[in-house]
Structure 1
Amino acid sequence: MPPRIQRHEKIIALVREHNFMPIEQLARELDVTPQTIRRDINQLCEENILRRYHGGATLGEGLENEELTTAKARRQNEKLHIADLIVEHIPDNASLFLSIGSTIEAVAMSLVKKRKGLRIITNNIHVAAIVSGRTDYTVIITSGVVRPIDGGVTGVATVDFINQFKTDYAILSAADVDEDGSLLDFDYKEVSVMQAMMENARRCYLGVDRHKFGRKALVRMSSITEFDAVFTDRQPSESMRKRLQDAGVKWFIAESEESNSD
C-alpha cells in the first residue's frame, strides 16, 4: 500500500477516535510535516471524508452520521447510568439549563421519567424534543444558529438569550477533562454558551463519561473546580481527588461494569 494511502487511513482512524485532531498533533503522530498533513486533509476533505475545522480536522458528512450513531450505541448504557445519577440530585419543580451532547440528552430522558413541574431552557433541539411532550414542563429553546451535526444552537444570540435567565441548575458536559482539571471543547461558540449557563445558574453539575478524559481538545471552557458536583463512571486520580476536595466539589460515580474494573 502506498505511504500516502497508509497515512490517510491513520489520519481517519485518529479523527474517528478523537472526533477532532489538530494538524500539529497529527504531524507528530505520523512523523511528517504539518504541510504534508494539510495536503492529506485537503484531499480527504475533497472526498467528503473529513472536514477542516479550526486548525485541524473533524469527520466529514460522509462519515459523521455513521460515527455519531455508532458512538451513541456503544456508550449509551454508560451515559444512561450517569444521567440517572444526576437526576437523583434534581428536585421536582426546578429550573434548569440543559446544554449540548448525548449525555445531556440522556439526562433529558431520565428527567421526563422521574421529575415533574420542571422549567427547562436548552440550546439543544434534541433535548427540547425529548422534554416537550410533558404538559407540566415549561420548555424554552434558545435563539441562535443550529449546528447540523448534533442539533446544538450556538452563537452570540444564544449567549444573549441565556443571559436573560437565572436557573436553579445548569447541567453541562465537556468534550475533554484534562488532568489539571481544565474542561475543554472543540468549538469556541459552544464554550461561550456553556460559560453563560454557568454564570446564570445557582448550582452547576458536570456529566462526563470515562471517554471524555484526556482527549486533548483546544478551547478552554472552565475548571472542574467551578462545578458543584461531577457525575461520571470512573474514579478520580489522586491529584484530581485532592483538587476536588480542596475546592469542595463532590464526585459521584455511576456504577457500571467498566467503572468497577478501574
Structure 2
Amino acid sequence: MNPNPRQLLLLQHLRAYSSCTLEELAVRLNVTVQTVRRDVQRLAEAGLLARFHGGARVPNSTTENIAYRQRESLNAEGKRRIARSVAQAVPNDCSLLINIGTTTEAIARALLQHTGLRVITNNINVAAILSRNERCEVIVAGGVVRPRDNGIVGEATVDFIRQFEVDIALIGISGIQEDGSLRDYDYREVKVSQAIIEHAREVWLAADASKFNRRAMVRVGYLGQIHRLFTDEAPPAPFPDVLARAHVRCDVS
C-alpha cells in the first residue's frame, strides 16, 4: 500500500509512543474512531503496524525488516524531498559510495542530471538507475545478490569496497536510536555499510522521519561517524540534542 498523509501521521504517533488506543489516535488525528480502525486494519495488513484489542503498536521485530515493496511506497514523497535535497548538495565531478535502500534509490534518480560522477554501489537498483546517465560512471560491487531487494552483500563485497576512498558516502539506514546508534537488520549488509563509512571522506545519512526510534538488531555505527543527516521532518526529542552532541549537520527538506 501507499499510505496517505493521515496514515503516515498515525504511524509517526505510534513510533513516538510505541502503542496507542484507537481513541487516543482518533483524538490526535482529529478523526473518528471508525476512521482510525479502518486505517489500522489496512496498515496492519500491510505489515506496517501490529493490532491489539482496542489499539495498535509498532511491530516489535528487531530481526526482520518490512518487505521491499512496502518500504518502497512508505513515505515515498518524503524520500523524494530528501533525494532532491541531497542531489542539490552533491557537486558534479565527485566520487560516491551508495548503499542499499529505497531512499538511496530515490537519491540515484535525483542524480540523473549530474555530470562527471563516479559511483560505486552494492545496490543493483541504484546501478540500473544511474546507468541511464551517460555522463556518469557506475561501478558495481561483487558479492551475493539478495533477491528481495537486489542488494549485494557478503565478504567479497566488503573486500571490494575497501579498495576505494571516495569523496562522499550516501547511506540509508533502518533505524536511529536515542543513544546515537545506527541500526539495521542484516549482518552481512551491515558489514558492507561499515566498510562504506570507513572509506569515504564525508558520510551523508539519508533517513526519513520513520527511522527515528525504529528498532533493529545490528549496530552499523554511531551518529558521530556521520557528517550530514538529510531527513524530511524535524527530528523528535531528544534527537536534536543527540545530533548537536555528535556535531551532525541536519538538513530538513
TM-score, scaled relative to structure 2: 0.74
The residue matched to 2:92 in structure 1 has which SS? coil
Cα 1:58–1:239 shift into 2, 3 Å: closer
Alignment match, 2:85: 85
Q: State the identity as a percent.
A: 38
Residue of structure 1 in register with 2:48 after alignment: 17
Does structure 1 retain, via aligned residues, the 8 Å contact 2:142–2:160? yes
Change (3 A) 1:185 1:18: farther
Alignment correspondent of 1:49: none
Give the CA deviation at 1:73. Answer: 2.8
Amino acid at match of 1:145: V
CA-CA distance at 1:151 after TM superposition: 0.6
| Closer/same/farther in 2, CA of residues 252 and 56 from structure 1, 3 Å limit | closer
Task: Output the CA distance in 2 between the equivalents of 1:191 and 1:77.
Answer: 26
Q: How far has the Cα of 1:234 moved from its partner?
A: 2.0
CA distance in 2, matches of 1:216, 1:14: 20
Does the C-alpha gap of structure 1 residues 167 and 18 become closer, same or farther in structure 2, counting only changes over 3 Å? farther
Task: Find the counterpart in structure 2 of residue 149 from structure 1.
Answer: 148
Between Structure 1 and Structure 2, the one with more helix by share is 1
On the 8 A contact 1:15/1:58 being kept in 2, the answer is no
How many residues align? The count is 205
The alpha-carbon deviation at position 177 of structure 1 amounts to 0.9
Report SS of the residue matched to 1:112: coil
The answer on 1:194 being equivalent to 2:199 is no
Q: Deviations over 1:174-203 (max 9, x none)?
A: 101112211100001101001100100000
Judge conservation of contact 1:15–1:57 (CA < 8 Å) in 2. Answer: no
- Gap change, CA 1:194 and 1:16, over 3 Å in 2: same
What does residue 53 of structure 2 align with?
none
In structure 1, give the amino acid aligned to 2:197: M
Q: Quick one: distance in 2 between partners of 1:232 and 1:138?
A: 27
Corresponding position of 1:97: 97
Deviation at 1:72, TM superposition (A): 2.2
Distance, in Å, in 2 between the alignment partners of 1:231 and 1:110 is 14
How far did 1:208 drift? 0.4
Offset at residue 13 of structure 1 (A) = 4.1
8 A Cα contact 2:223 2:246, kept in partner: no
| Cα shift readout 1:138-174 (whole Å, capped 9, x = no counterpart) | 1100000000111100000000000000100000011
Q: Distance in 1 between matches of 2:245 and 2:70?
A: 38
Over aligned residue pairs, what C-alpha RMSD do you find?
A: 2.6
Q: Rate the CA distance shift 1:58–1:106 in 2: closer, same or farther, 3 A.
A: closer
Query: Mean alpha-carbon deviation: is it higher for 116-125 or for 239-248?
Result: 239-248
Deviation of the 1:239 alpha carbon: 3.0
SS in structure 2 at match of 1:180? coil
Structure 1: which amino acid aligns with 2:72? K
The residue type equivalent to 1:138 in the other structure is E
In structure 2, C-alpha distance between the alignment counterparts of 1:14 and 1:219, rounded to whole Å: 26
Gaps of at least 5 residues in structure 2 are 1-40, 51-56
| Secondary structure of 1:149's aligned partner | coil
SS of match in other structure, 2:152: strand
Maintained 8 Å contact 1:181/1:224: yes
What is the CA deviation profile of residues 207-243 of structure 1, one whole-angstrom value per residue up to 9, with x for unaligned ones? 0011112221010001122100000012123432223
